[in-house]
Amino acid sequence: MFYDDLESDYELNIYINDRPYMIADLGRGECTIFLVDSTNTSDHRSLVAGEIERAIIVDASLAWQNCVAMLSADELFDLVSDIHLLVDIYWLESFKIKDLCSGGKIFTPLKNKINQKRFNESLDECLT
């Protein structure tokens, strides 16, 4: 029973570098991280239904009072550091990112921060 519970989807609030985030981990397999800035993660479940094997939805609205697209360069750097730590917490060897809130502003700093080998080849195609 216990191991079955570990395999189920879940949502939780966690603090990364003293900032609160809502994380939803859905499915298993090849991972896509969705960066959103809306408190209703259930709205985002429809984005991942049938499209991918595993989704980690990172809601940044708890940590940042502005929408992610409006963050300063320093705040974006802090957000990138938080996502980098999250990737390490989940031990993700390979993943894709869909940035649904910053218009792609986070992509280049994140790619520079995280070892590029860990990104899937198709990462550029994932950005919206």
pLDDT digits (tens, 9 = 90+) for 33-75: 888 887 555 566 666 666 678 889 898 888 987 788 888 889 9
DSSP code for 28: S
Tell me the two tokens of residue 64: 């940042």
Tell me if the pTM is above 0.85: no
SS3 21: strand
Q: Which domains does the chain have, with CATH numbers?
A: 2-126 (3.40.50.1820)
Q: In sequence order, which residues have a C-beta less than 8 Å from that of residue 85 and are 6 or more positions away?
A: 16, 17
Closest C-alpha to 82, from 44, 33, 125, 40: 33
